[in-house]
Amino acid sequence: MNRAIAPEINTIKAVNLVFPQRLTLTDEVDLFWIDDVSDETVKIDFIWEAGSKYQPKPLVASFCNQLLFSGNSDISSMQIAEEIDGLGGFLSHEQNYDHAGFSLFGLNHQIEQIFEIASNAFNSVMFPNEEVNKLREIKQKQFELNLEKVNVRARRDFIRKTFGLNHPYGQIADKEDFDRINQKDIEKFYKDLYKTKPFIFLVGKVNDSFINQLKMWVVKFTAEKPIINFGKINQSKGQFYTEKTDALQTAIRIGRPLINKKHADYFKFLVLNTILGGYFGSRLMSNIREDKGYTYGIGSGVAVLEEAAYFFISTEVAKEKREETIKEIFFEINKLKTELISEQELGRVKNYMLGELLRNSDGAIAMMEKFKNIYFNDLKESFYTDFIKTINSCTAEQLKTLSNKYLNDADFTIVGYG
Partner 1 sequence: MITYEKYTLKNGLRVILHQDKTTPIVAINTIFDVGARDEQPDKTGFAHLFEHLMFGGSKHIDNYDTPLQKAGGESNAFTNNDITNYYDTLPLENLETALWLESDRLLELAFTDKSLEVQRNVVIEEFKQRYLNQPYGDVWLEFRPLIFKTHPYQWATIGKNIDHVAQATIADVKSFFFKYYSPQNAVLTIGGNIDFKTTRALIEKWYENIPAREKYIRNIQPEPQQIEYRTKTIERQVTSDAIYIAFRTGNRKTSDHYMGDLISDILSGGKSSRLYQRLVKQNQVFTNIQAFISSGWEHGLFIVSGHLAHGVDLEFAELALFDELELLKTELLDEAELQKVKNKLETVKAFQDQSVLNRVMNIAQFELLGLLEEINEESDKYQKITSIQLQAYAKQIFLKTNASVLKIKATNE
30-69 binders of partner 1 (CB under 8 A): 38-41, 43
Site for partner 1 in 360-399 (CB under 8 A): 362-363, 365
Under rule CB under 8 A, residue 191 binds partner 1: no
374-407 residues labelled b (16+ CB within 10 A) or e (exposed) = bbeeebeeebbeebbebbeebeeeebbebbeebb
Do the bridges between strand 100-107 and strand 41-48 make them parallel or antiparallel, or are there none, so unpaired? Answer: antiparallel
Q: C-beta of 147: minimal distance to partner 1 in Å?
A: 8
Site for partner 1 in 274-333 (CB under 8 A): 279-281, 289-297, 316-318
Q: Is the Cβ of residue 150 or residue 181 nearer to partner 1 in the bound state?
A: 150
Give every strand in the sheet of 238-242, ordered side by side: 238-242, 413-417, 249-257, 309-318, 295-304
Do the bridges between strand 238-242 and strand 413-417 make them parallel or antiparallel, or are there none, so unpaired? Answer: parallel
| Residues in contact with partner 1, shown as a per-residue x/- string from 230 to 249 under the rule CB under 8 A | ----------------xxxx
Under rule CB under 8 A, residue 9 binds partner 1: yes
Query: Which has the closest alpha carbon to 200: 82, 77, 104, 126?
Result: 104
Between the CA atoms of 100, 301, 326 and 329, what dihedral angle is there, to the nearest 10 degrees?
Answer: 180
Sign of the CA dihedral with 103 first, then 106, 107, and 111 last: negative
Site for partner 1 in 104-123 (CB under 8 A): 105-107, 110
Under rule CB under 8 A, residue 210 binds partner 1: no
Q: C-beta of 54: minimal distance to partner 1 in Å?
A: 26
Among 28, 35, 148, 339, binds partner 1 (CB under 8 A): 148
C-alpha pair distances (Å), 89 with each of 44, 47, 69, 183: 12, 18, 14, 28
Q: C-beta of 311: minimal distance to partner 1 in Å?
A: 22
Rounded Cα gap, residues 120 and 128, in angstroms: 16
The site that binds partner 1 (CB under 8 A) totals a number of residues, namely 76
Among 358, 385, 404, 405, binds partner 1 (CB under 8 A): 358
Q: Is the Cβ of residue 25 or residue 64 nearer to partner 1 in the bound state?
A: 64
Rounded Cα gap, residues 324 and 339, in angstroms: 22
Site for partner 1 in 246-265 (CB under 8 A): 246-249
Among 27, 73, 74, 78, binds partner 1 (CB under 8 A): 78
Q: Is the Cβ of residue 13 or residue 224 nearer to partner 1 in the bound state?
A: 13
